[in-house]
Structure 1
Amino acid sequence: TVIGGEENAAKKAITTEATSTKTSATSTPNNTATPTGDSDGNFGPGSIIKQRFKLEKVLGIGGMGKVYKALDLLKAEAKDKKPYVAIKLLNEDFKDHPEAFISLQRESSRQQKLAHPNIATIYDFDRVGGPGTPVFITMELMEGMELKDFIRKTVRKKKGLPFEEAYEIIKQLGAGLTYAHELRLVHSDFKPGNAFLCNDGTVKTLDFGIARAVKNPVSGEAEKTLFDPGKLGALTPAYASYEMLQGEEPDTRDDTYALGCTAYELLTSKHPFNKLAANKAKENNLEPPEIKGLNKKQNRALRRSVAFHRADRSPTVEHFVEELAGKATWHKNPFTIAAAILIILTSILINPTLDYLHQRKIDGLVAEINQGNQQTIDQKLDEILMLEKTDQTTVADEAKNAIQNYFSDKVAFLIDANNESYDFPTANKIIEEIGKFYPESQFLQRQTTLVTTSKKKIISDLNAQYVSALKDPQLINDTKGILEQIARIEPDHPLLEDPRPANAYRILAIERFEANQFATALELVKSGLASAKDDVRLTDLEKKILRAQRVAELESDLNIIKKQLSSLISFKDQQTVISELANLSPDSDLIQSLSTKFKPILQKELDMVIKTGGRNDAEALDNKYNQLMIAFQLNDQLTELKLAHLKGNEREGAITKMVGINTNDIESALSDIDADNQKWEIKLLRNIQELASLSKQNKNANTKLVEYREQIAGLYLEKASQTLQEERFDA
């Protein structure tokens, strides 16, 4: 198979390959080839991907990458009759656009859930190694040719297929699209080049979801898929609806338009608008031609399918296919209704015939299951459960080998630890489903034991890895991935609540913090919080590191210009930085050093104001430098400045007012304690410092100061005791 957007060379290669697939698939595969591929993308025939897929030959090269025929070594070892797959290695563009990888992976994952005989199977979407290595897709390897090549080689020679032959292909294409639409998945790049006609007559649609993963295309060649991983854009202009070309959101009726164009080609060998894009065809007022030999209803169906506006288009693919069949609608025909009533009345006479037909239905269902593949069985299981209980038992018993092999394969796949898609919760659901078909059976017991045993072994291995990672600082980051794997297997496993990883991160962060490696310490804390969001000790340490980191930054800035600080003006220019540092680290050696340098310069200016200046000069000096005096804890000088040139009752009144303001603020803070809030602490400290500077001149201030200091000391001692009991040492 080939992903959408491949060139003609790829199509020819796949057609040629089809004739040899059967022979090679049944011969004994050589799985001893030496890998030649590497993370730089040097892959070719003989390379082995993921220690499983051996590339054998290039089937084609297209706009998105190369397609190889590959041997699945795991299937070969198990002597699977069909050990070959198609592998597409996406080109280097995807390395530079991780969003393209994420989007394509999501859509490929959706396509993997599409189980329908008319949709090509995608097995997996992965990278050959770690992040940044090439992306590859494993797909079903089919025998036949692309519908585009069939149209070119066969349909054009005949100038169109007979209606019955064309309709059989259209019907199968429509069935695949309808199934996907029911699952709310739009193809968005449907065209003959994205459909495959198998040798047995089955028609399969390719690349569901690959084109849907991308939006907002530009313009280009009529039949080539335009793809730009950087813009996430893909479509084929000749088959894109008018709305798609206008950049509107995808709609199922876009696929109807593309199917209608394809139907015209099958019936006439020509595109309805000669490969002209819908917007250009609309500009030129083109209309699709009427096809001779089809009745009015059929021609109307074709015209509606390729209408330029969605509102005028067939509402669903299913509706278009039914209308194209050209059959009468029985429920609108009164004669048909009368005939139906007559049939009901005479049914009493033909019960033996109905019993015979019922048995034929059961036998047919058994035959389909016994001869079908996994997709067929998957579809038929729901059908079995809708039967009467006795019929369910009959089908389950007569198709036992096929059904049980189907379940065994699914369980084995879902619990295989070597498979990145392993899923034990889904495996348990399969066990429940087995119980519906084979309750209290040995098969059910064996599968249950297999799942339980595998689950215990994998968790045991992961637990051993987890313990080792906890002990090794180099492996501590692995604990997160290990726990994610355990969660996939057992979502309620007690290890998922284990506090040890958070504690290990905290200890490592403390080591880095004490070595002044703040950035590394912070990263370790954030890694710990990623898996333990509510760990209060990690949160405390994060605050501590951020505080120390900011202090270091501020000290670095001040040290650079420290020698230039020689005047009040130069200090004033650095007031914001100095104040922030003083708030974060009042005992900082740098703050003490700058305070020693600032104090005599200020004192000189203060003495001059007191000796030769006036009250206005004192207030001006206070307004200009009070923040610096507070930062350097020069509270006595600040109080002296605030009281300068005040005498007698005026001075006493000012002192009393200052004491009152500070006591009120302190009382308010102590009535609403918020000791973990830095702003609360700073404000309280400033009030205490100013009250202390007033205590020498006011007895009430001194009495209150002693009382407040004892109260605050008791508050912090209680807080410290509580914090220690909680083992919050970094708080």
Structure 2
Amino acid sequence: MDDQSKNNSINKDSNGDKTKIVKTQKRENTNDKMGNINNEGSAPNNNETNTKVSHNQNTIPPAGNPHSDFEKNTHKKRPDSLLGETIKNRYEIESLIGHGGLCDVFLAKDKILESSGSDTPYVALKVLQKEYASQPETARMLIREAQQTQKLSHPNIIRVYDFGVDGDIYFLVMEYVDGETLESLIQRSRPDGLRYNAALSILNQTLDALSYAHSLGVVHADLKPANVILTSEGKVKLLDFGVSKTQQLKHDQYAAKRKSQDTDTLGYTPNYASLDILSGKEPKFSDDLFAFFCITFELLSCKHPYGRTPADEALKKGIRVRKPTNLPFSKWRLFANAFATGTVPQGLNCVDIKTRLNRNRWPLYSGIAATIALLAGLGMFYQQQQDTISKLNLALAEKDQTIELAEQLLNTLPEDTKALIDNKQGLHPVIEAGFLRLYKPHLLGEFESKIDDVLNSDVTTYPNYDQIESILQQAKVYYPDSHKIEVLALDIQSSKHSTLLSIARQINSHLEKSVYAQVEGEKSIYDLKSELHEIHQDYPFTPSSLASEVFGQHLNEALQLRDAAALVTLIKVGNTFFAESEEHQENLAFSNAMKDAVLEMKLYETAKESTNPLAFPSDAARLLYQEEFEGLHYRLKQARTTVNLDKLVKDIDAFAENFPPGFQDINDLRFQTADKYLQFSDILLNKRKSKSARRAMKKANELLKRVETEAEQS
């Protein structure tokens, strides 16, 4: 089972080590201390507007009596009615620790962790309030929060361990944290706010969490003091990714195409929203940074930059934001630009902001630089004196050597001439020219002898033309105008060219006849290619058009039949001879992946019934069934009725037989299908078709339960 499937059902074994829970100091203080923790959309404090804005709110009363039933449902059931209940036969609810507009958050004991002997068996259980459980929009939001947050594994982000449905109860299982929100910290810090150095650790950790989420393409979209927790150990935790959005950063070559996120509903807190968010644009990374600037301002001053007015209204009113006393002047420009425009520049990121907030050592650096410059100047003066002394000593040595060399020149032998010329030390150009002219026959004879040795060597099948050309180039250094050397060089080049053409014709002949394997008594195409490179390392061999056509036909046939053995042979041929051919590059790249995928699936099928079965090759399966996955996703996207979805569910079930239970891509399909049922349920409710809406809701719940069941089995 792959990583994502594991996340959908954490801690299924009895080991409690994976559960990240911070113990409370006193259980009696839970309700008081944790009132603002782990709650999405919780009841706001007096100093914060906690408005959730929705572009697609469903205000149609439920089916039945359109007035009495709706009015009955608007009276919220007391959240403490779940106290003492056990969800999914696992999570025993002990106390209410948060109550919001959509969800209640309870302190619950995980029975599995307790039975395993864990000393921290407590989790936070986030439960959708009963009156919203039948509304597809809110159920979708809870599912989306779980899916988004489970992608994030960072020490400064609240973990979501599990989510599911128990009857009509939709719930998330989250990390339980002992601490207070920044909203509470700001209230305690009135009226002056935190000092900059005291707030810097909080800001750095918040930026680390945002940077990590942004690196995965996730935008929080509702960052505010109530959604940032500071633990008793001083650790920052971000929560509430229920309205977050995902931006595509990279593409997985094995992954089937996914349906894009539903963007009909966007929740945010206006007081911390940028101008772009308030104008209805899609959330971006820069919008999180704008909210971060607002939080920073409040931490340092205990005041909202615009006096709790949304940015668009503040700019219209001409509200001018002044620097907080606790913020260093050198940092203010970064914030002033954002508050003056209501936006953060797209190029600015978390790393840049963190660097600027922590930059405070310029005086120290300046002093060090001045000291280094002084030491460098002293060292340079000393080195110049040493260089002068060395040059004088060298000049004296050269004079002595010149006298000694002149004495040796009188007794130079012909066989020693080349070594003497090559050395050049102390040899006057006129003397060098005289030696070359006097001993020309002898020196040319030495080069010809070296060429004969290479031509007569039996080490290789063909002469080493590169070595011969190197010898001729050496000869030209001494006698650049020699006619004899020029004629010899032309003969060698002609012989080399003829040999290369002959070998290239043999290779093309084999390729055109699709003779890719070794034939007894003949050289293989790889042997010939090796000889080609031995003669000329960079020879640009080009397959003929017929050879390219024949290869393309064989490669396409092997891909269609998923013939792993043929693909192995053809991939080697393609990588050796057709790697530079544009018409084959795409198929070659796909063939490499397809070959490995086919082999992995065959090994898995072979070992499945043995005593040592292999793990299911998920990536290989995704590649082999990529077209089928794309087809199912396309049908899901085009589905316009619940009848279409019913047929699709049957086809998904049949297709799922190719994979083990709990396979992530099948689960994704079922999740998205359930989401589409919820969308249709919403539409049908708006059309007053309550019976059809309930049927669609039932189908969605069945799919969600099936995904959860298969995840547990896997």
Q: Into which bin does the TM-score normalised by the smaller protein fall?
A: 0.3 to 0.5
TM-score by length of 2: 0.40
Whose helix proportion is higher, 1 or 2?
1
> Which structure is richer in relative contact order (CA contacts within 8 A, separation 6 or more)?
2
TM-score by length of 1: 0.39
